[in-house]
Chains A and B, each alone.
Chain A
Amino acid sequence: MSANIKRHRTGLGGIAFAVIRPVMSLIDIPLRALQRATGQGGMASFFILPNMAVFTIFVLIPFAINFVYSMTGGIEIFLNQRDFVGAEHYRDIFTCGSYLDPASCRRDGFWTAAQNTTLFVILQVTLLIIVSLITALILNRQIIGRSFWRAMFFFPVLLSPVVVGLIWRWILQRDGLLNFVLLEAFGAEQFNWLTDRTAAFAATIGVSIWAHMGFYTLILLAGLQAIPKDLYEAAEMDGTSKSRVFRRITLPLLMPNLIVVLVLALIKAVQVFDEVYVLTGGGPGTSTMYLVQYIYEKGFASELRNPGLAAAASIIMGAVLVVLTLMQMAASRRNEKKGER
């Protein structure tokens, strides 16, 4: 302790210490009085108050307003100019001949977007986990330039989604880099990567994986590195084949990380919007129109604006996200319990 004080009293640290100390002493007096009055529990509440205030202003209140909006009709912005319509938007959304056939639904755009999003989530999350896992397994080995490759795979995570969308649009558009390379290398004809329905859908999945896999790879890599080396050596002594080591040791021990990756990736995939909006604008047609874009366009962008419907759609999507979040919490709790055992 005395060594620390000595260090603070020399050089720049000493000056800072001399300035901070009287200020801290001044704060100390009211804080002590507050603690006497409220007890330690009260102090904890006092300290989280600023955070709660921000959370309330920017999350809870908008959420409540959004819910009220979903019960109103018209194109007006101000609530006092809007008519109360009750659950009409929800009824509208859920009025369907068959949920699997968007054309049979009163709000077919919502169900098209929901169907696209579901397919996107299933394919993107599955491929994302597989690719991230393979990358993490490779990066966990003693390969040349390991640190470089780790940085390379993480780099796209640092990019803004709009930048990601733009980069890939330049690559994939008709006169883009990919067609240029294919033409130069193989003399291939130009292909409409972003205007062919299947190719555009695949492109949104591929770009999304490219943009996010670095983050999930990092989580899985951390999990792989946390598996004790001794276990692999014990398995080697036991004559375990590589595939069995992966199935019986690596995968089960990586499961906590895989669950985290799965749930985070699911939530992120449901929310997909910005990079896809820049890349394809939801097209061709509605083939890459996902839920958030539907909500955005219904609320703000389309000519037939319907903020109430957009609010109702976002509440439904919010409910899906709450379910996914609860899944994550349950999975984390189960892992914690496992860890305690």
Chain B
Amino acid sequence: MGRITLEKLTKSYGSVEILHGIDLDIQDGEFVVFVGPSGCGKSTLLRQIAGLDKPTSGELKINGKLVNDVPAADRGLAMVFQSYALYPHMSVRQNLAFGLENARMPKAEIDSRIAEAARMLEIGDYLDRRPGQLSGGQRQRVAIGRAIVRNPTAFLLDEPLSNLDAELRISMRAELSALHQRLKTTMIYVTHDQIEAMTLANRIVVLRKGNIEQVGTPLELYNRPANRFVAGFIGAPSMNFLPGSILAVNLVDTVVTVLGEETLAVPRPAETAEAGEKITVGVRPQHIRLAGPGEDCIGAKVTLVEALGAETVVHARVSTGELLLAVLAGQHALSAGEDIRLTFDAKDLHLFGGDGLRIAGT
């Protein structure tokens, strides 16, 4: 069992409040990713759960038991640190055994747990080496191994892949995902990399300035971001935001005009918006395409073309000065300075009100 519940959790350092009343319920066996920009409070939140810091107010429960005052070691959690935090003067075996020896576990049991973790993570060949003799990826496995041998209620992972090179990060990501499926233990993972969040998480918690902006599955966040921040943060490249206004709200759709040039009927009726209201229209770069003959479109001038082979990233400036990013499938013979006509489908638009929140119903 590894259910973790946070209720109105706050954390202040002096007069500065870092976390502002976090409410979150993490189910047993879930892989939850805390994601957000630097300074959003995600690591601070993880440290409260770990017991390395004490919340200023609110309740933190593990399997229904209040643990605000329970020391880190007694919470049954294991943490993997960004720096790996392996003891440099001990061998891999000693690193794995250290926590178990603290618990005065019999040697035979320690050896068996180490053997099992070593088999699982394929680190058996270097159990007698020191961390300094291992590569970054091997150290990462040892750090995960140290968490696994404790057989914890939940794993807490604080940006564990950020010190690895891009290629290794991708392979370790897949291994972590496989490990979670095998262990079926709750995992809470902190990252600022939204691709890691999207690929690993059952649910993503998007944080900004100590508040939760949205909690949901990766596709929920991608398809129906709750506000402009989440819309801009999730998805790469970032969503385009264009000024628009509502022309009409009907029973089955919402008619909007984008940049005053293109009029589209979004096939979802806005519940809280009225005709004439100024809004922000969001459209993902992947949903923009070159307009066909006779199609409603937005005129733009190409400023930069990035040909990636399978797709072409086009940076273009529209007549009102906004920069638009389009990811076009395949290869396109475009060049900077060229005039192009871009369009998108109404169903792919995201509508945000003046307060930045998604307009209900759309």
Shortest Cβ gap from B145 to chain A (Å) = 13
B50 touches A239 (CB 8 A): no
- In the bound complex, CA of A252 to CA of B82 (Å): 23
What are 11 sample pairs from A and B whose C-beta atoms fall under 8 A apart?
A: A230-B81, A231-B85, A234-B81, A234-B87, A235-B98, A237-B72, A237-B78, A238-B102, A241-B102, A253-B88, A253-B89
Tell me if B273 is interfacial: C-beta within 8 Å of chain A.
no
Nearest CB in chain B to that of A238: its residue: B99
Structural contact, B103 and A233, CB atoms closer than 8 A = no
Query: A239 and B103: CB pair below 8 A?
Result: yes
Nearest neighbor of A252 in chain B, beta-carbon distance:
B89
B109: min CB distance to chain A, Å? 16
Taking CB atoms, residues of chain B closer than 8 Å to A230 are 81-83, 85
A69 shortest CB reach to chain B, Å: 48
Q: In the complex, are the beta carbons of A239 and B85 less than 8 A apart?
A: no
Across the interface, B130 reaches (CB within 8 A) one of A235, A241, A248, A341, namely: A341
Candidates A228, A234, A239; contact of B74 at CB < 8 Å: A239
State the Cβ distance, B134 to closest chain A Cβ, in Å.
Answer: 10
Contact A238 B85 (CB under 8 A): no
The minimal Cβ–Cβ distance linking B142 to chain A, given in whole angstroms, is 12
Count A-side interface residues using an 8 Å CB cutoff: 19
Which chain A residues border B72 with CB–CB below 8 Å? 236-237, 239
For residue B176, CB closer than 8 A to chain A, the reply is no
Q: Which residues A251-273 have CB closer than 8 A to chain B?
A: 252-253
CB under 8 Å from chain A, chain B span 66-85: 71-74, 77-79, 81-83, 85
- CB closest residue in chain A, given B99: A238
CA distance A249 to B87 in the complex (A): 7
CB distance from B234 to the nearest CB of A (A): 29
Interface mask (B79-117 → A, CB under 8 Å = 1, otherwise 0):
101110111110000000011001100000000000000
Hey, which bits of chain A sit against chain B, CB under 8 A? Answer: 228, 230-231, 233-241, 244, 248-249, 252-253, 340-341
Given A240-B99, A249-B87, 7 additional A-B pairs, CB 8 A: A228-B83, A228-B85, A234-B86, A237-B51, A239-B99, A239-B103, A341-B130
Residue on A nearest B95 in the bound complex, by CB: A234
Are A244 and B52 in contact, with the CB atoms below 8 A?
no
Residue from B86, B102, B130, B150 having most chain A Cβ neighbours under 10 A:
B102
Chain B, residue nearest A339 (CB): B132
Q: Answer whether residue B133 sits at the interface, using C-beta atoms and an 8 A cutoff.
A: yes
B51, B82, B85 — most chain A CB neighbours (10 Å) = B85
Within 8 A of A (CB), among B224-247: none
* Among A238, A241, A252, contact of B98 (Cβ-Cβ < 8 Å): A238
* Least Cβ–Cβ distance between A28 and chain B, in angstroms: 44
Within the assembled complex, what's the spacing in Å between the Cα atoms of A252 and B85? Answer: 15
Contact residues in A for B82 (Cβ distance below 8 Å): 230
Cα–Cα, bound, A249→B79 (Å)? 18
CA separation between A237 and B72, bound complex, in Å?
5
Q: Please state if A237 and B52 are interface contacts (CB–CB under 8 Å).
A: yes
| Minimum-distance CB pairs A-B, first 3 | A239-B73, A238-B99, A230-B85
Q: Do A233 and B81 touch across chains, with their CB atoms under 8 A apart?
A: yes
* Chain A nearest CB, measured from B243 CB (Å): 40
A237/B133 in contact, CB under 8 A: no
Given A231-B87, A237-B73: A244 touches B81 (CB 8 Å cut-off):
no
**Are B87 and A237 in contact, CB atoms less than 8 angstroms apart?**
no
Docked Cα-Cα span, A216 to B52, in Å, equals 31
Interface pair A341/B52, CB less than 8 Å apart? no
Closest chain-A Cβ to B58's Cβ sits at a distance in Å of: 22
Identify which of B85, B146, B150 contacts A233 (C-beta below 8 A).
Answer: B85
On chain B, the residues within 8 Å of A248 by CB distance are: 87, 98
Query: Is A240 within 8 A of B74, CB to CB?
Result: no
- Chain B residue at smallest Cβ distance from A227: B88
Q: What distance in Å separates the Cβ of A239 from its nearest Cβ neighbour in chain B?
A: 3
CB distance from B40 to the nearest CB of A (A): 21
Which residue of the partner chain A has the closest CB to B81? A230
Q: How far is the CB of A14 from chain B (nearest CB, A)?
A: 41
Q: Roughly how many angstroms separate A295 CA and B100 CA in the complex, as a whole number? A: 58
Pick the contact of B102: A240, A252, A253, A340 (CB < 8 A). Answer: A240
Which residues in chain B, 118-159, are within 8 Å of chain A measured between CB atoms?
A: 130, 132-133, 146, 150
User: Which residues of A are found within 8 Å of B52, using beta-carbon distances?
Assistant: 233, 236-237
What is the CA–CA distance of A236 and B85 in the complex, to the nearest angstrom? 12
A241–B132 CA distance with the chains assembled, in angstroms? 25
In angstroms, how far is the closest chain A Cβ from the Cβ of B62? Answer: 14
**In the complex, A238 Cα to B101 Cα: how many Å?**
9
Q: Choose one: B81, B89, B102, B130; the contact of A239 (CB below 8 Å).
A: B102
| Bound CA span A241–B82, Å | 23
Chain B residues positioned under 8 Å from A236 (CB to CB): 51-52, 71-73
Residues of B44-75 at the interface with A, using a CB-CB cut-off of 8 Å, are 50-52, 71-74
CB atoms of A240 and B77 under 8 A apart? no
8 Å CB contact of A244 from B77, B102, B150: B102
- Tell me the nearest residue of chain B to A239, going by C-beta: B73
Residues of B contacting A244 in the complex (Cβ-Cβ under 8 angstroms):
102
A233-B85 Cα distance, complex, nearest whole Å: 8
Q: Which residues of A contact B86 (CB under 8 A)?
A: 234
The distance from the CB of B89 to the nearest CB of chain A, in whole angstroms, is: 4
Collect the chain B residues with CB atoms within 8 Å of residue A233's CB: 52, 79, 81, 85
How far, in Å, is A98 (CB) from chain B's closest CB?
43
The answer on a CB contact under 8 Å between A341 and B133 is: yes
How many angstroms between the C-alpha atoms of A238 and B73 in the bound complex?
Answer: 6
Q: Give CA–CA (A241, B101) in the complex, Å.
A: 11
A233 to B82, CA, bound (A): 12
In the assembled complex, how far is the CB of residue B60 from the closest CB belonging to chain A, in whole angstroms? 16
Chain A residues with Cβ under 8 A from B103's Cβ?
239
Query: Which one of A231, A235, A237, A249 has the greatest number of beta carbons of chain B within 10 Å?
Result: A237
Question: Which residues from A are CB-within-8-Å of B89?
Answer: 252-253
